[in-house]
Chains A and B, each alone.
Chain A
Amino acid sequence: MNSQITQLASKYLLPVLIVISVIVFFRGHHHPGGGFIAALIAATAIIFNAMVTETGSVYKRLFSHPVRLVAAGMSFCFLAAFAGLLESRPLFYGYWTEIKLPLVNKISLGTPLLFDAGVFLVVTGSLLTVFLLILEEIEWK
């Protein structure tokens, strides 16, 4: 896609959308939002970027191949599910702690959040895998 406008837009939209995705991710437990929606926003940003540049540079800038993101996400989900079993509690039992941070008062951290992070990585990774493959196959004009 060679349009100057979209190229410029994607350049500035990418960081903005990533920040929005992080915000949406963290407000997910008590408000609308959460891992799935955050992952859709993040994946949209990256795929939009891949459409205007080329897929090779996107692969380079990601930390690893998207399939590994899926695997990392699956292992987060596994840990969150398994945490309860160690103390012979049921599957997916939620443990919570609260951390005080200077800027944002306090954050609650717990296994449900870990599960959500897993969902985030799985959804981002699988969407990126699919779309980057399709973008490579079809010549985008």
Chain B
Amino acid sequence: MSAADPLISIVEDDESLRQAMVGLVRSLGYRVASYPSAEDFLAADARDRSNCVITDIQMPGLSGIDLKLRLTAEGVATPVIMVTARAEPALHEKAMASGACCLLRKPFTAEALIDCLDQALAA
């Protein structure tokens, strides 16, 4: 792993899931930074350094969708992969409409994440 490897930022409030995602993304050979909330991510000013953001949708405070809208409003084009445990079609539509490049249903497989990451990093 080197500084040249893409940096993936993970935003997830559930600590154990966050750790698991960090481990998985690292196993794929990427650099990883993780944040327990969208607010922490924004405060760390990691938007421009990240090649991709993976965020949970349901979080206290700003949701994953709020985060994407905020980035778009700021003119940050970093691709955002969203993750949710919910199955409601309305939520999926809302996520895609906000500009998510990919939506993962928990629990997801490594292959599904790899596909999403490939898609996001190719963009």
Chains A and B come from one and the same complex:
no
Residues on B close to A: CB < 8 A? none
Query: A residues near B, CB below 8 A?
Result: none
